[in-house]
Amino acid sequence: MNFRKLKQKKQTNKPRKVNILYARYPDRIKALITDIFMIYMPIMFFITYIVLSGKDALQSSNEAPLIATSLYGVIYAIFLSKTGQTPGKKAYNIKIVDYKSQENLSFIMALLRFIVFLFSATTIVGLFIPFFRKDNKALHDLICGTIEIKT
């Protein structure tokens, strides 16, 4: 084989660059608010008025918010592991995938991402990181190796 054919063969075997369209941060925030109203609020309503005797019992309980947040985290992780989207993310055409493979997250990784998100949100600093990055990754995305893309 001569040099030209080898060179052409190398050029055709190069992996193509895939253009990734990162999700806008305002859309991500809107999707989170939508998820809170569609998933978390019904859980809190159920715990408050079905399990407990009302808002006074909820306010005096330390376990009820923890149980509601844990249940929300499990439901969130199930959505992400199955489709890569929660109802809010689907409404804004956003999908959460692994940064390297561009595939859906495993259940454990999705649950870990939710837990890291809780810590990131409590420090507030983790939520401002996307304003300084081109890829709009927040602290929990950086730690878990995920990315939110437009579909």
Domain spans of the chain, in order of start: 22-150
- What pLDDT is recorded for position 74? 97
pLDDT of residue 28: 92
For residue 149, the tally of other CB atoms under 10 A from its CB is 19
In the chain, the percentage of residues whose pLDDT exceeds 70 is 88
What is the pLDDT at residue 133?
86
Residue 13, pLDDT > 80, answer no
The pLDDT, as a whole number, for residue 18 is 60
**CA 112 to mean position of chain CA atoms:** 10
Alpha-carbon distance of 113 to 99, in angstroms, equals: 13
Q: Which residues of 25-60 are buried (b: 16+ CB within 10 A; e: fewer)?
A: bebbebbbebbeeebbeebbeebbeeebeeeeebee
Higher pLDDT, 100 or 5: 100
